[in-house]
């Protein structure tokens, strides 16, 4: 079997060994896909106006929503891409986590946000599997959404946001 075949995520129909701790036909912790869509890819930027101009001039992108989220110390602009968004994100204060991110890493992808049916349910599933989370409970996000962040060290080095619309 080639190395690629071993890693093929679709080739696990009779591969019980790949799922640790499960016997034959045993109940899975998660019995259906919890992530229904990509809600947004968030990109940390120094200057929101400049970043919006760049996306508009380069890609013809249109800002669909803009909001200051005081509790997170950020201002965001959402640019629609099909059913998802690119979220340009800039800090509104020096002690904002995004300000610290820009200081350490510069501009770039900050987090991936996945849509879920129920933020509480998805967060509970993540916690039940022992993954570190940033938000112990769902909380209000922008656009009237309910969100929770999972720690970047928990799952594949990515800061993940769960978004319930
Ligand atoms: Co986000």
What's the 149 CA to ligand 1 centre distance in angstroms? 9
Q: How far is the CA of 92 from the centre of ligand 1 (A)?
A: 15
Ligand 1 centre from 126 Cα, in Å? 18
- Residue 43 CA to ligand 1 center (angstroms) comes to 9
The three-state (H, E, C) secondary structure of the chain, written as one string: CCHHHHHCCCCCCCCHHHCCCCCCCCCCCCCCCCEEEEEEEEEECCCHHHHHHHHHHHHCCCEEEEEEEHHHCEEEEEEEECCEEEEEEEECCCCCHHHHHHHHHCCEEEEEEEEECCHHHHHHHHHHCCCCECCCCCEECHHHCEEEEECCCCCCCCCEEEEEC
Query: Rounded to two decimals, what is the model's pTM?
Result: 0.82
Q: How far, in Å, is the centroid of ligand 1 from the Cα of 160?
A: 8
List pLDDT tens digits, range 10-66: 555 554 444 444 444 445 678 889 999 999 999 999 999 999 999 999 999 999 999
């Amino acid at each position: 079997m080639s190395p690629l075949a071993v890693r093929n995520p679709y080739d696990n129909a009779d591969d019980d060994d790949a799922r640790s701790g499960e016997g034959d036909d045993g109940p899975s912790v998660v019995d259906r896909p919890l992530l229904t869509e990509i809600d947004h890819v968030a990109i940390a930027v120094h200057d929101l106006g400049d970043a919006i101009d760049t996306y508009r001039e380069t890609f013809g992108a249109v800002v669909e929503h803009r909001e200051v989220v005081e509790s997170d110390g950020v201002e965001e602009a959402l640019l629609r891409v099909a059913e998802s968004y690119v979220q340009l994100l800039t800090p509104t204060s020096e002690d904002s986590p995004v300000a610290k991110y820009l200081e350490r890493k510069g501009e770039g992808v900050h987090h991936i946000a996945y849509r879920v049916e129920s933020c509480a349910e998805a967060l509970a599933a993540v916690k039940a599997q022992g993954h570190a989370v940033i938000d112990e409970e769902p909380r209000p996000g922008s656009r009237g959404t309910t969100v929770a962040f999972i720690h970047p060290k928990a799952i594949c080095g990515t800061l993940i946001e769960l978004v319930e619309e």
